[in-house]
Structure 1
Amino acid sequence: MILIGEKLNSSIPKTMEAFSAHDEAAVIGLIQAQADAGAEYLDVNTAICGGEELAAMLWVVALIREHSSCGIMIDTADPAVMAQAVQAAAGTPLILNSATLTDRFDEVTALAHSSGASVVGLPIDGEMPHTLEEKCEKLAALVEKLRKAGLPDERIYADVLIETLATDGASAKNAVGAVQFMAQNYPDVRTTCGLSNISFGLPRRSLINSAFLSAAMMAGLSSAILDPVSPAMQDALAAAKVVAGQDDYCMDYITHIRSGEL
Structure 2
Amino acid sequence: MILFGESLNVISKVIGKAFKERDPGPIQAECEKQLKLGMDYIDINLGPAKKDGHELMPWVCQVVQEAAPDAPLLLDTSNIAAIEEGLKVLKPAAKPHVVNSIMARAERYTEMLPMAAKYDADIVALMWGPDGLPRDENERAALCVELLYAANEAGIPNEKIWVDGIVTPVNIQQAQCMSLINFQMMLEDIAPGAMSTCGLSNISNGPPEHLRPIINTTFMVMLGRYGMKSVISDPLDTNLTEVAKGKRQDIVDVVYQAMDGTAPDLSTLSKELGDYVKTVRVITGESLFSDSYLEI
Instruction: Tell me the TM-score normalised to structure 2 length.
Output: 0.76
Equivalences for residues 42-81 of structure 1 within 5 A: 42-47=42-47, 50-68=50-68, 69-81=70-82
Contact 2:55 2:82 (8 Å CA) reproduced? no
Map residues 3-82 of structure 1 onto 2, 5 A cutoff.
3-47=3-47, 50-68=50-68, 69-82=70-83
Residues 1:100 and 2:103 are matched in the alignment:
yes
1:184 deviation in Å?
Answer: 3.7
Q: Kindly indicate whether the alpha-carbon contact (under 8 Å) linking 1:183 and 1:219 is maintained by their aligned counterparts in 2.
A: no
1:205 aligned to 212, 229, 248, which one? Answer: 212
More deviation, 191-200/224-233: 224-233
Deviation at 1:231, TM superposition (A): 1.7
Distance 1:78 1:21 in 2: 20
Cα deviation per residue 1:210-237 (whole Å; 9 max; x = unaligned)? 1101101111101111123322322332
Moved more, 100-109 or 79-88: 100-109
Q: Tell me, what secondary structure is at the counterpart of 1:163?
A: coil
Number of residue pairs matched? 244
- Matching of residue 115 in structure 1 with residue 119 in structure 2: yes
Return 5+ residue gaps in structure 1 as ranges. Answer: 245-262
The equivalent residue for 1:236 is: 243
Q: Output the CA distance in 2 between the equivalents of 1:236 and 1:225.
A: 14
TM-score, normalized by length of structure 1? 0.85
| Residue 148 of structure 1: how far off its partner (Å) | 2.2
Deviation at residue 106 of structure 1 after TM alignment: 2.3
Structure 1 position 198, deviation (Å): 0.7
The higher radius of gyration belongs to: 2
Q: How far apart are the structure 1 equivalents of 2:115 and 2:48? A: 23
Q: Tell me if structure 1 keeps the 8 A contact 2:3–2:230.
A: yes
The match for 1:257 is none
What secondary structure does 2:51 align onto?
helix
SS class of match (2:206): coil
Report the residue type matching 2:113 in the other structure.
Answer: T
Quick check: 1:185 aligned with 2:194? no
What is the root-mean-square deviation of aligned Cα atoms in Å? 2.0
SS at match of 2:52: helix
Residue segments in structure 2 that go unaligned for 5+ positions in a row: 254-296
- Match among 221, 224, 227 for residue 220 of structure 1: 227
3-state secondary structure, aligned to 1:224: strand
